Amino acid sequence: MENQKMFKYANRKVEEYHLNTENVYSYWQETFKKFFRSKMATVLFVGVISLLLFTIFYTLFSKTDPYAKSKMIRDWNQPPSAAHWFGTDQLGRDIFARTWYGVKTSLLLSLTVGCIDMFFGVLAGLFWGYVRKADRFMTELYNIISNIPRTIILILLSYLLSPGFSTIVLGLCMTGWISVARFIRNKVFTIRDAEYNIASRSLGTKTRTIMFKNILPFLVSIIILETAITVPYTIGSEVFLGYIGLGLPQSTISLGTMVQAGISSFQAYPSQLMYPTLILSFITVSFYLLGNKLSDVSEPKNYE
Amino acid sequence: MSKVLEVKNLSVAFELRGKTLKVVRNVDFDLNKHEVHAIVGESGSGKSVFTKAIAGMLDANGKITQGEVALGQKSLIDLRKKEWVEIRGKKLAFVFQDPMTSLNPLKKIGHQLVEVIKLHQKVPHSEAKGIALKLLKDVGIQEPEVRFNQYPFEFSGGMRQRVVIANAIACQPEVLICDEPTTALDVTIQAQILRLLKDLKDRYNMSMIFITHDLGVVANIADRVSVMYAGEFVESGTVEDVFYRAQSPYTLALLKSLPQLGKKGEELFSLKGTPPSLTEEIVGDPFAPRNELALEIDYVESPPFYEISKTHKVKTWAVDPRAPQREPFDFLNLIEDNKALDHEVKTDHHHPNKIVSFQDLSVHFKKGKRIIKAVNNVSFDIFEGETFALVGESGSGKTTIGRTIIGENHINSGDIIFKGKSLKKGLDKHLKKEIQMIFQDPMASLNERAKIEYIISEGLRAHYSKKELEDKMVLLNSILDEVKLPRTVISRFPHEFSGGQRQRIGIARALVMEPKFVIADEPISALDVSIRAGVINLLNRLKEEYKTTYMFIAHDLSIVKFIADRVGILYKGRLVELGYAHHIFNSPQHPYTKSLLNAIPHPDPQVEKVKKIIKYEGEFTGSEVFKEISDGHYVLM
């Protein structure tokens, strides 16, 4: 039973300000926590990291020479064996080794293109979206550049410069950045006149500072998405270019050249196409799914 | 009175970031036939979650953890999707807050209505169309045959809400749940929608649950009221019980915070602190930490319900016979006392300096081929040191004027003169220091990814060099003390703060610049009722200390009455009345001003329920002139 004493005034001080600890969290910590809560994301993430690490270590430390041809016919087009895990191709070269060297080249290519495209694309898109006066000029520029077919550019460049790694990078980047810029520009439009940006303008903050401190952080999820899509897209482009004869030269090992070779010997030895294709598919699908997932979890839906 | 809906022991919990939030905690509730039962609460009280739980519409991470809900004889717990289709729309219908997003923007209005009717009543298309047209007429939409074929974007906010209501009552449900249906609407439209809802309730024989945070609206529409705090009902009774004989400390705090009870020149009563965290176990009375008259037992044990009368029950220890007597709170007397404004107001507008002068200001917007005259030939002056209130509803041009002063909009004709300098070409850096703005939505006006330190000092960084910034730190710290935020906030991020706290940060950000002129764009309309008073007191105090001039943009006249020296009323881009606050409120001249004042819901059930609505839908002929009819009082006629 309650004591009479309990019914006296407590006279405790009323706190004016109280920090709600459940609201204290770090944005990136929460993003990664959410990301790893998904089983699919975790599995794919582990898979991709293993693949990357394996590629790096194999190409650095393996003793198998992917260029080693054999003069003996019986070494040509061998099925998988203890000596050659993926078998050999029409010149007796070890497909297993070639696959991993190919992955290295293709990933290097797509990451290079990805980074250059994103860097210039984001800067251009920020400027295009935020600075009102730039819209007209940039839109016209976009209309011109995006209408030039990439294939024509690549053919021209291959003709002018010798086909190689830097040619393809140059060709793919020249037209790629503007689509990224367009994407970014559209997103910038939606937050350009949000109250916190009006506030920054009324405080006298420089335009440059507003672009990088106010707008850019909100583009993070869309940047992640774009980057993650660029990688498989570039690898796909490289394969396609190889298929039509504009890709890397046959002397370079890449997934594109592997697929090219595999297609020509497909009728007789279908397995030679299968291995690079499997790895290629895994990379493409994983990057796409992981990119989407990371982009989803980094999008702040509600600041509860 | 038979019970249409009965809820017993209901608890609802949510999973958020790995923690469990107990949002609704062991509540009982009932709804009688033909009554309007209002639920009053602030953000985080659990009122919306409560009604969503009843209708089975909780978000994916929410769950009913215990309790029973019975609609008539049928239990509403754990129903399957198929069973819900029979209930929702037919027996239970919802009207939500935002009419902009409650309708499908891609389908014609008529089509959406007919869809609902055919789904539940299973009648042929032609018959359904007839029913739909009658419904549109019932909810007050003129020319229903024309409107039937239009899309939502062709309707105004108030009309869209009428269509939403039509959708809800299409199948004559027994229970209509309205979740703040008028909060997003202008005050004159709100008055009309409330009358419509009462009308429809009688005609269609419905019972209503009405959620709101506005006590004036409660006084207007409710028969019974339940007050919700931290997931439980703390007081429940008829509308007269709760207004005139309130017993719960929280209800009393809400009533005391009403601006109608405030005396000009004195501070408004404000509630300190924030609602308790929902993840932790709440020991004792959840309101105790904010209650200055809390008893020892409030911190130890949760109070039971005490029956004050057959209709009125309260969940607080304060009414226990062993508790000390409290001072009586005579609501009716307090509200009468402070009704008329002080007549001894200085009318010395002949002497002080003008700080801002609007001269025939016009701001136009182009929408395709149409030109919208958002601000049309507006002229008035603001004097140094006063608080000027610019009042209007949506489309009046008040926000446009505010944004034009800070340079966001282009001036088409006329001019704004600030301390002798013209603002027609925009603001130079020096002027930006002197004119600052406090924004409306605390959830949107802070950069979510920046630390508080950056946010508050952003203006300083733009105007002062690194060395001067260090000196300014002293000022920054003292501003933080002024807005009653501890100095530790500077290393935190905006998402860690509540709406009221974020608004204080916004105020600190504006005032650290030591501006001469502050534009406050509806600074409290997005805040909870009990928090508003605190922010208003703060703004008043800061004005005294820093000797700034304020321009308040508002649509809530009850607050304006309390803080403004002079008032300007805007309607459709034109200034229709201008004068000292007590002139405007005690003897309004323009018919629009009269309708606006009449439309404010007065938090006194006796008065509000018998009030007659004054409607005004004027058009300008273009030949009106601004005339001075008495000392400093101008009217457009």
Chain A positions in Cβ-Cβ contact with residue B277 (cut-off 8 Å): 20-22
Contacts of A170 (CB under 8 A, 6+ apart): A157, A161
pLDDT at B339: 59
**Cα–Cα distance measured from residue B10 to residue B28, given in angstroms and rounded to the nearest whole number:** 7
**Smallest CA–CA separation between B449 and chain A, in Å?**
7
Judge whether residue B140 has pLDDT over 80: yes
> Phi/psi of residue B352, each to 5°?
-70, 165
Q: Please, are residues B261 and B57 in contact by the beta-carbon 8 Å criterion?
A: no
Please name every residue paired with B357 in a beta bridge, in sequence order, or none if there are none: B381, B417
For residue A116, the surrounding DSSP H or E stretch is: helix A95-130
Region A139-160 average pLDDT: 83
Judge whether residue B115 has pLDDT over 80: yes
Query: A18-24: long-range contacts (C-beta < 8 A, 24 or more apart)?
Result: A18/B273, A18/B274, A18/B289, A19/B496, A20/B274, A20/B277, A20/B496, A20/B498, A21/B277, A22/B16, A22/B17, A22/B19, A22/B21, A22/B277, A22/B278, A22/B279, A23/A304, A23/B495, A23/B496, A23/B497, A24/B492, A24/B496
Judge whether residue A18 has pLDDT over 80: no
**Cα–Cα distance measured from residue B4 to residue B85, given in angstroms and rounded to the nearest whole number:** 19
Architecture in CATH of B354-636: 3-Layer(aba) Sandwich (3.40)
Region B365-374 average pLDDT: 84
Q: Is A19 on the interface with B (CB under 8 A)?
A: yes
Backbone dihedral region of B319: left (phi > 0), alpha (psi from -120 to 50 degrees) or beta? alpha
Judge whether residue A7 has pLDDT over 50: yes
Which is more confident, A150 or A45? Answer: A45
Backbone dihedral region of A69: left (phi > 0), alpha (psi from -120 to 50 degrees) or beta? beta
B3-222 and B354-636 agree in CATH topology: yes
Taking CA–CA distances from B454, the nearest residue in chain A reads A213
Contact A202 B406 (CB under 8 A): yes
Region B363-385 average pLDDT: 88
Dump pLDDT digits (tens) for B433-444: 899 999 989 989
pLDDT at A2: 56
Interface of A with B in 204-233 (CB under 8 A): 204-206, 209, 213-214, 217-218
Contact A16 B272 (CB under 8 A): yes
Can you read off the two tokens belonging to residue B585? 């409120």
**Spatial CA neighbour of A105 closest among A229, A227, A249:** A249
pLDDT at B222: 94
Dump pLDDT digits (tens) for B283-293: 889 998 888 88
**Spatial CA neighbour of B595 closest among B569, B616, B574:** B616
Q: Is A61 on the interface with B (CB under 8 A)?
A: no
**Smallest CA–CA separation between A190 and chain B, in Å?**
13
Contact B449 A27 (CB under 8 A): yes
User: Which amino acid is residue A258, in one-letter code?
Assistant: M
Grade residue A304 by pLDDT with cuts at 50, 70 and 90.
very low
Q: Is A65 on the interface with B (CB under 8 A)?
A: no
Contact B17 A196 (CB under 8 A): no
Judge whether residue B348 has pLDDT over 60: no
DSSP secondary structure, B519-583, as one string: EEESTTTTS-HHHHHHHHHHHHHHHHHHT-EEEEEES-HHHHHHH-SEEEEEETTEEEEEEEHHH
pLDDT at B229: 94
Say how many CA atoms lie within 13 Å of A130 toward its Cβ: 22
Q: Is A27 on the interface with B (CB under 8 A)?
A: yes
pLDDT at B390: 94
Region B544-551 average pLDDT: 88
Judge whether residue B266 has pLDDT over 90: no
| Candidate from A135-139, A296-300, B85-89, B350-354 with smallest mean pLDDT | B350-354
Judge whether residue B338 has pLDDT over 70: no
**Cα–Cα distance measured from residue B172 to residue B221, given in angstroms and rounded to the nearest whole number:** 20
Helices and strands (H and E) in chain A: how many: 11, 0
Q: Which CATH number fits domain B3-222: 3.20.20.70, 3.30.300.340, 3.40.800.10, 3.40.50.300?
A: 3.40.50.300
Contact B444 A204 (CB under 8 A): no
Mean pLDDT, rounded, of chain B: 87
Supply the ipTM of this predicted assembly: 0.83
Dump pLDDT digits (tens) for A83-108: 778 778 778 788 888 888 888 888 88
Please name every residue paired with B95 in a beta bridge, in sequence order, or none if there are none: B178
Grade residue A302 by pLDDT with cuts at 50, 70 and 90.
very low
Which is more confident, B141 or A150? Answer: B141
Contact A2 B322 (CB under 8 A): yes
Judge whether residue B203 has pLDDT over 70: yes
> Phi/psi of residue A39, each to 5°?
-65, -40
Dump pLDDT digits (tens) for A248-257: 887 788 888 8
Contact A10 B273 (CB under 8 A): no
pLDDT at A292: 87
Judge whether residue B342 has pLDDT over 70: no
**Smallest CA–CA separation between B116 and chain A, in Å?**
31
Q: What is the DSSP letter of A300?
A: -
Parse chain B into domains and list their residue ranges. Answer: 3-222, 354-636
Dump pLDDT digits (tens) for B493-537: 998 888 888 999 999 999 888 899 999 999 988 888 888 888 888
Q: What is the pTM of this model?
A: 0.84
**Cα–Cα distance measured from residue B224 to residue A220, given in angstroms and rounded to the nearest whole number:** 49
Dump pLDDT digits (tens) for A74-89: 778 877 887 778 778 7
In which residue are the tokens 């022991």 written?
B9
Region B294-299 average pLDDT: 88
Instruction: Characterize the bridge pairing of strands B387-391 and B549-554.
Output: parallel
Judge whether residue B178 has pLDDT over 90: yes
- Asked whether the CA dihedral B51, B55, B56, B57 is positive or negative, the reply is negative
Chain A positions in Cβ-Cβ contact with residue B284 (cut-off 8 Å): none
Q: Is A1 on the interface with B (CB under 8 A)?
A: no
Dump pLDDT digits (tens) for A194-250: 899 999 999 989 899 999 999 998 888 888 888 888 888 888 888 887 777 777 887
The winner for highest mean pLDDT among A77-81, A260-264, B179-183, B237-241 is B237-241
Judge whether residue B37 has pLDDT over 90: yes
Q: How far is CA B488 from the centre of its chain?
A: 30
Contact B506 A199 (CB under 8 A): yes
Judge whether residue A279 has pLDDT over 60: yes
Can you read off the two tokens belonging to residue B489? 């906030």
Q: Select from A7, A8, A9 the Cβ nearest to the Cβ of B320.
A: A7
Contact A303 B448 (CB under 8 A): yes
Q: Select from A16, A22, A206 the Cβ nearest to the Cβ of B462.
A: A206
Q: Please, are residues B259 and B265 in contact by the beta-carbon 8 Å criterion?
A: no
| Candidate from A158-162, B164-168, B431-435 with smallest mean pLDDT | A158-162
Interface-testing mutation among A29, A36, A196, with chain B (most B C-beta atoms within 10 A) = A196
User: Which amino acid is residue A241, in one-letter code?
Assistant: L
Grade residue B405 by pLDDT with cuts at 50, 70 and 90.
very high
Neighbours of B337 (CB within 10 A): 11
Region B1-29 average pLDDT: 88
Q: Which CATH number fits domain A38-61+87-298: 1.10.10.10, 1.10.3720.10, 3.50.40.10, 3.40.50.970?
A: 1.10.3720.10
**Cα–Cα distance measured from residue B608 to residue B592, given in angstroms and rounded to the nearest whole number:** 20
pLDDT at B346: 53
**Spatial CA neighbour of B303 closest among B242, B235, B227, B226:** B235
Region B168-188 average pLDDT: 89
Grade residue B211 by pLDDT with cuts at 50, 70 and 90.
very high
Dump pLDDT digits (tens) for B80-111: 888 888 888 888 998 988 888 888 888 898 89
Contact A214 B447 (CB under 8 A): yes
Taking CA–CA distances from A34, the nearest residue in chain B reads B17
pLDDT at A303: 37
Dump pLDDT digits (tens) for B58-67: 888 889 999 9
Region B299-311 average pLDDT: 91
Chain A positions in Cβ-Cβ contact with residue B441 (cut-off 8 Å): 195
DSSP secondary structure, B36-48, as one string: EEEEE--TTSSHH
